[in-house]
Amino acid sequence: MEKTNNYNKKITKTIFIALLMLSALALLIFHANFFLLVFAGIFFSTLLNFSSNWIVSKSKMPYWLALLLVLLSMTGILVLIIVLIGPSMVQQVKEMTNTLPQSLNNLREEIRQTSVGRSLFEELPSDLGALIENREKVVSRIVGSFSTTIGAIANFFIIIVTGIFLASSPKIYTHGFIRLFPINFRPRLIEVMDKTQRSLSLWMMAKLISMLVVGVFTAIGLEILGMPMPYALALIAALFSFIPNIGPYLALAPAVLIALMQGGNMYIYVLILYFGIQIVESYLITPMIEKKMMHLPPALTLFWMVLLGLITGILGLIMATPILAALIVIIEELYVKDHLEASGNPENEVDKKPVAVEADHDDSDSK
């Protein structure tokens, strides 16, 4: 009878865990944007916490004062950028919004000159009446774009506020999370969480350096070429470089469209400039930074970005890389090291070289 009761308890427990996992999976699929916002807030708080702890270790000031210093520094840098290049940037963005439609019209006329282009435009509505019939769709798209913009701004503020709250009292949230696990596992969990935080922070610092280099090089190159709106295009290039693999090509589109309006071979020079900067960033700057930061496999990063982009849209595309960086650290620490390599099975120890490589600062410090 006792064996039967124990067996029934195991079955019940297994079913409960399975249902819990299925519920969590369904929640993750149907409300993925919510979890992405939560992760983005945690990611921002990780950067704040890492920077504040570094200041504390160097100056011995209280944590709250270090966090305040970090927030004031970020705000000051943002205000300085707005004051120095804000007016010209706004003017260039206005010019771009007026220039891009004309660039698209010029591109359309160029395409219309080809046989494929003529057959393509024959399928499009040529009279005004056909366009008027679709006015409701146009209005709905405008309203949808406005709603998307408002939603993006709201999400941005949610991420900022969440990150500040989490960074202001990190122990409350980490201790509450750790208490959900067995006591004997908690020290190892704290170790993995610290390593994940360090990896994410170092990755973000490397990415910020890379974005700065791309923006500066793009602005200088466009100025030399005599392209209009160089700072606006450089800002777009810097921001889009946060998205690896895909971002640089997205940033190239408006630059090429504006270059086409300049006539001549300007678009060729712009293409050479952008691809040259991308080569320098990918094969020189990024490897130099990643020697002391963190490396992510390019193919795995691309596949992961496509997956999250298809599931959640633009937010998933933006947050795909930091999520992958965190997952790689967690899987390597808890599964590869604690399960596969700790089991002592030679078949499981084919390759102990980690996928994500982080610099070992402890060795250099001890020396």
- In the predicted model, residues of the chain with pLDDT beneath 70 are 1-9, 13, 16, 24, 27-29, 84-86, 88-90, 92-93, 95-104, 106-149, 289-295, 343-367
* pLDDT at residue number 103: 66
Instruction: Supply 359's token pair.
Output: 């610099």
Cβ–Cβ contacts within 10 Å for residue 86, how many?
12
* pLDDT at residue number 72: 93
- The CA distance from 305 to 318, in Å, is 8
- Which of 195, 171, 209, 200 is CA-nearest to residue 41? 200
Q: What is the pTM assigned to this prediction?
A: 0.67
* pLDDT at residue number 7: 67
Cβ–Cβ contacts within 10 Å for residue 121, how many?
12
DSSP string over 276-291: HHHHHIIIIIHHHHHT
Where in the chain are the domains? 34-118+156-366
Maximum CA pair distance of the chain?
90
C-beta separation of 41 from 158 below 8 A:
yes
- The CA distance from 320 to 296, in Å, is 12
* pLDDT at residue number 352: 45
* pLDDT at residue number 96: 66
Which neighbouring-strand residues pair with 21?
none
- Which of 123, 346, 95 is CA-nearest to residue 231? 95
Percentage of the chain surpassing pLDDT 70?
A: 68
